[in-house]
Amino acid sequence: MTGGGAVRTVMVVAHVGRPDAVEAARSLVSRLIAEGLTVRAPKIEAEQIALPEVVAVQPEPEAAAGCELTVVIGGDGTLLRAAELAREPGIPLLGVNLGHVGFLAEAERDELSEVADRVVDRDYVVEERMTIDALARCGSEEIARTWALNEVSVEKAARDRMLEVVAEVDGRPLSRWGCDGVVCATPTGSTAYAFSAGGPVIWPEVEAMLMIPISAHALFARPLVVSPNSVLAVEVQSDTPHGVLWADGRRTWPLPAGARVEVRRGAIPVRLARLHTAPFTDRLVRKFELPVRGWRGAANRLPGF
C-alpha cells in the first residue's frame, strides 16, 4: 500500500473497441486501486471497466488535470486520443501496446504487471516530444486551429483528381505540386504517416519539422527537413478540387479551393513516460523487426571513434 500524504491519481485510457484492452485495463485498475491510488477514466472506459471505484470524466482537453500519469492501453491511435486529454495539463503518457507496431508505446501486454509496479513506485522517467500547431484559413475566414503530435496533412478529397498546391517555407514559395497531399510532421511522426509517404526517420531528440509531398507529379518532390523555428505553409490552389485537413489522423476539416494551412512548432509539447533507457536505434530494430545479423558490436569500431 502507498503511504500517507496527498491522494495519488492516475488516469487510464484504453481501446474500448477491443475486449482484451478493456480486460487489461480492468486488471491494471484493480491493482492500482488495491495500492491506494485513485483511478480516473474517460466515461466510456469507466463504463466498460465496470469497477465502482473508477472516477468517470468527460473526454475533454483538461480531463487528466491533477493526475500524475496517464496509462494508455491499446495502440498508437489510442495514445494519440489520450494525448488530447493530457497534453494541455502536461500529464505524462505511458503506453502499453496491444496494437501492431505500437511505436509510441513503452511496454507490451505481457509486461502489464511490471507496468503496475513501476507506476506505484513512480519508477519512470519523462521526456518531452515536440508538437506542431496548424492554422487553416480561406481569405479572412478561419477554418481550423489545431495541433498534432505526429503530423498534419493536407490531402485530396476526390479520388479521381490530384490536388494542386503550392508549398512554402518561411514565407517563400518552394514548388507547386500536383499530388495526393502533403504531410507536415514532427520527429515523433517521422515513423508514422511521414514514413509511409517516403520521409526520413528522425531521432526524437532532434528538433526539426518535415514536409513530405504524397505521390507528387513533379521534378522536385523530395522530403524536406527544416528548422523547428521555420513556418511551413501549403496553399490549395483556386483551380483545384477542395481538399481535407487532417491532424494526427483523428481530427479533420474540409479545405475549400484557395485555403491556406500554416504549420509551426507547437506551443505545448506532449510528455511521454519511459520505463526503458535503450537507444532509439534499438526501438527501431525491435518495432520494425529490422535485420541486424552480422553486427559485430562496439569492439570492432575503428581507432579514434
Catalytic residue among 20, 76, 110, 133: 76
Q: What DSSP assignment string belongs to 75-140? A: -HHHHHHHHHHHTTTT--EEEEE-SSS-TT-SEEGGGHHHHHHHHHTT--EEEEE--EEEEEEETT
Strands 251-255 and 243-247: antiparallel
Question: Which residues have a Cβ under 8 Å from the Cβ of 99 and sit 6 or more positions away?
Answer: 15, 74, 75, 76, 77, 78, 105
Q: With beta carbons less than 8 A apart as the criterion, state whether 218 and 197 touch.
A: no
Answer yes or no: 160 catalytic: no
The stretches of the chain forming alpha helices (DSSP H) are 19-34, 43-49, 76-86, 112-120, 193-196, 280-288
Question: Which residues have a Cβ under 8 Å from the Cβ of 88 and sit 6 or more positions away?
Answer: 61, 62, 65, 268
Active-site positions read: 76
